Amino acid sequence: MALLEAKPTLSSIGTTTISVFETGEYEVNSITVESRGSSIDSPPPKSLLIFTPVKAGTYPVLHFLHGFALYNSFYSDLLTHIASHGYIAIAPQLYNPIWPWDSGYDEINSAAAVTNWFSQGLKLVLPEKVEADLTKLALAGHSRGGKAAFALALGTYAQTLISFSVLIGIDPVAGENKDNQLPPEILTSQEQSLNLGIPVMVVGTGLGCKQAGLLTPPCAPTGVNHEEFFKESKPTRGHMVVTDYGHMDMLNDNPPGIIGQVSGIMCKNGKGSRDVMRKCVGGIVVATIKAYVEKDATVLKAIIDDPTIAPTTLDPIVLDEA
């Protein structure tokens, strides 16, 4: 009897699993914290967008790094989805997208500085009775931010005072090609060469390696994209490719301004609704945090066992456990 209870029935797995792809049970608020001119005593080193459950409680934290020349606000729908499952999602603005001149090293140092600020600063800005559990910390990033997340997790370029329990790369990109990577050049072409020491989930897009137009190179070129990041990670490592969507499709619908317009035309986009893509990517992130931060892999394994429960095609889909 005890054994049976410990293992959920198929129908309950199904319900839980599908639910990560839907909005979660927590009402979510967003908080903007400025790095300059803030009224708090210890402002963060970079301005932050924080998505947090409103309900009193203690929640795991996701540190999310935006892509090249993008605003953190363009990910608000995706991050709200994740937070609605009971997480505090924090997205710094690592540099001004109009002046995207920070080096790869600057970006990693900024992300580390923000992480180091969490311990002292988060309690100053979170709602009353909402607490961040910094023993349960996940790191994710999109595109160049995905590569920065890998580099930060390596621990050799910048040190953080608190540790990440899992790394999630969302269509990570290391540069133009193997020979023109954004420094630091972390891809080596060698299988399992990345000494991360934590589980890794790499979410890819099927259209990221395609061109948006004749004169436009792909946003996530073969050789420096999700396939290579997965190949160079050690187990435990997962790889899920959202077949019918593109490199920017996890962003909000029609992000505003000229930077938003540019984000809409630079990469080959999928034909389906971005809401489906955001729910799919958000669900994978939630399932991965549940598995490797909260140590409950039920949902993640259910997705691996039956990828059709995801709202759009995932192919390939691999979980390679240590």
Active-site positions read 143, 171, 247
Report the distance separating Cα 241 and Cα 300, nearest Å. Answer: 14
Residue 104 Cβ vs its own copies, minimum distance, rounded to whole Å: 7
Structure tokens that stand for 29 in this block: 């608020």
Residue 75 Cβ vs its own copies, minimum distance, rounded to whole Å: 16
197 binds its own copies (CB under 8 A): no
Of 112-120, 159-167, 173-181, 292-300, the segment contacting its own copies by CB under 8 A is 173-181
Q: Which is nearer to its own copies, 73 or 205 (CB)?
A: 73
Backbone φ and ψ for 263, nearest 5 degrees, come out as -60, -25
Structure tokens that stand for 245 in this block: 């969507």
| Helix/strand/coil percentages in the chain, nearest 5 | 35, 20, 45
Instruction: Produce one character per residue of 155-175: b if its CB has 16 or more CB atoms within 10 Å, e if not.
Output: eebbebeeebbbbbbbbbbbb
5 binds its own copies (CB under 8 A): no
C-alpha closest to that of 164 among 61, 74, 248, 51: 61
Report the distance separating Cα 104 and Cα 181, nearest Å. Answer: 10
96 binds its own copies (CB under 8 A): yes
**Quick one: which of 53, 60, 67, 104 contacts its own copies (CB under 8 A)?**
104
Report the distance separating Cα 90 and Cα 129, nearest Å. Answer: 18
10 binds its own copies (CB under 8 A): no
Query: Which residue is it, tokens 């979660």?
Result: 24
213 binds its own copies (CB under 8 A): yes
Q: Which is nearer to its own copies, 168 or 266 (CB)?
A: 266
C-alpha closest to that of 188 among 232, 147, 239: 232
2 binds its own copies (CB under 8 A): no
Q: Which is nearer to its own copies, 188 or 216 (CB)?
A: 216
101 binds its own copies (CB under 8 A): yes
260 binds its own copies (CB under 8 A): yes
Largest CA distance in the chain: 64
259 binds its own copies (CB under 8 A): yes
265 binds its own copies (CB under 8 A): yes
Q: Which residues bind its own copies (CB under 8 A)?
A: 96, 98-101, 103-104, 175-176, 180, 182, 212-217, 256-262, 265-266
